[in-house]
């Protein structure tokens, strides 16, 4: 019986084969949708440490509430692939799997280029993405929900996150699943990760709802620091500015 580790190692072989990584050091975290590994990068990926995000194979993955995020992602697909996706056939599941992985890779590539606080992506293979690593050889950067921020600087970090949400929106993207569980804290900086659910507000009718939910999750976290930001007001202002081209 093939184990999950063997499947992941097989997907990482492409990065070893093309000279992007030389060693897999440890598992950073393993979730319902993917496992992230800390790897030693080769010259082709700039050297140092890199992160490899390996997505769950078809039979083990769980892209929750997929329908709310999928709208518009089939625009570039062939008629056959669109039918398969709609019918939820085996080919359709393969198509869905590929669109989620490619969507995250392209989203992070674009946002990093726009100056957002997201990891730089280096490469994409069948089932995995290689990206910038935050942390050291001992441990990865912790998720925001696991750290205690300097209380006198908490408002600065909240502003940084909201500025990023605004920048994403200006680039026609809403994270769609933002929370303290996919925000990293490293060296006095907040970094956002996990973008497979990101949606385009120009074509996804649920984008405004998702934007509000993202901001609620973030603002709720900062209440413990005595900061009571009005998530609904912030979302309304950002959306109004987006619709009028003022972002």
pLDDT at 73: 55
Residue pair 51/26 in contact by the 8 Å Cβ criterion: no
Percent of all residues in the chain with a pLDDT value above 90, rounded to a whole number:
66
Place of tokens 């994270």: 175
Specify the length of the chain in residues: 247
List pLDDT tens digits, range 153-162.
999 999 999 9
Beta bridge partners of 53: 36, 129
The token pair that represents 122 in the structure block: 């280096």
Q: How confident is the model at residue 243 (pLDDT cuts 50, 70, 90)?
A: very high
Q: What is the C-alpha to C-alpha distance for residues 219 and 204, in angstroms, rounded to an integer?
A: 24
Fold observed for domain 4-132 = Phosphorylase Kinase; domain 1 (3.30.200)
What does the DSSP assignment read for 161-223? HHHHHHHHHHTT-B-SS-SGGGEEE-SS-EEE---TT-B-TTT-TTHHHHHHHHHHHHHHHGG
Among the four given CATH numbers 3.40.50.10860, 1.10.510.10, 3.40.605.10, 3.40.50.1970, the one describing domain 144-243? 1.10.510.10
List pLDDT tens digits, range 38-51.
999 987 666 799 99
Q: Where are the domains of the chain?
A: 4-132, 144-243
């Amino acid at each position: 019986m093939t184990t999950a580790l063997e499947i992941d190692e097989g997907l990482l072989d492409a990065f070893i084969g093309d000279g992007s990584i030389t060693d897999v050091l440890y598992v950073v975290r393993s979730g319902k949708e993917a496992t992230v590994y800390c790897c030693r990068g080769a010259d082709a990926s700039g050297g140092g440490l890199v992160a490899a995000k390996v997505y769950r194979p078809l039979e083990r993955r769980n892209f929750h509430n997929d329908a709310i995020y999928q709208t518009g992602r089939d625009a570039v697909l062939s008629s056959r692939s669109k039918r398969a996706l709609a019918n939820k056939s085996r080919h359709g599941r393969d198509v869905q799997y590929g669109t989620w992985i490619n969507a995250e890779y392209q989203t992070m590539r674009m946002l990093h280029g726009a100056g957002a606080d997201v990891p730089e992506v280096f490469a994409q293979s069948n089932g995995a993405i290689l990206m910038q690593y935050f942390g050291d050889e001992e441990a990865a950067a912790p998720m925001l929900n696991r750290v205690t921020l300097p209380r006198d600087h908490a408002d600065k970090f909240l502003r940084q996150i909201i500025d990023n949400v605004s920048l994403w929106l200006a680039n026609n993207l809403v994270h769609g699943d933002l929370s303290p569980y996919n925000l990293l804290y490293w060296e006095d900086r907040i970094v956002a990760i996990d973008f497979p659910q990101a949606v385009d507000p120009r074509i996804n009718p649920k984008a405004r709802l998702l934007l509000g939910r993202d901001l609620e999750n973030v603002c709720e976290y900062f209440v413990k620091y005595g900061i009571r930001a009005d998530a609904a007001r912030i979302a309304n202002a950002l959306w109004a500015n987006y619709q009028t081209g003022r972002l």
